Amino acid sequence: MQYKRSDRIAAFIRQEVSTMLVSELKDPAFGFITITKVRLTDDLRYAKIYYSVYGDAQKKVASAKALERANGHIRTELGRRLKIRFVPSLTFVFDDTIEYADHIERLLKKMKT
């Protein structure tokens, strides 16, 4: 099975951004952020980085602001690590899939009882 170049680079970006958040960026506002997926356009110009945050609404807002503050640094670091001509423009998008799945699971448990 052949993978598109954009898919391989998206997987690399996901791994690198996750590593940066865990070990390199020291902003306490990040909390428990997980990079869930990265969508990269075929021309490699734009990347949407989906993330989830464990915590209440205040933690989510603080994490979103921290990601926006770190956007330039993350993009610069990706530029050093990627071997491509242009570094994609990064957009961080909150991914509520995990919360939605948890909500559905609670509803199903409620229906069983």
Q: How do residues 56-110 score in pLDDT, each as one tens digit? A: 889 889 999 999 999 999 999 999 999 888 999 999 999 988 778 888 888 888 8
Confidence of residue 1 (pLDDT cuts 50, 70, 90): low
> Are the C-beta atoms of 89 and 71 separated by less than 8 Å?
no
Q: How do residues 37-53 score in pLDDT, each as one tens digit? A: 999 999 999 999 999 99
Beta strand 46-54 with 32-40 is: antiparallel
Q: Read off the pLDDT of each residue in 3-25 and give the average, rounded to a whole number.
A: 91
The residue length of the chain stands at: 113
**pLDDT for res 102:** 81
Q: Containing domain of residue 28, as a range?
A: 5-112
**Domains in the chain, number:** 1
* Prediction pTM value: 0.84
Tell me, what CATH number does 106's domain have? 3.30.300.20
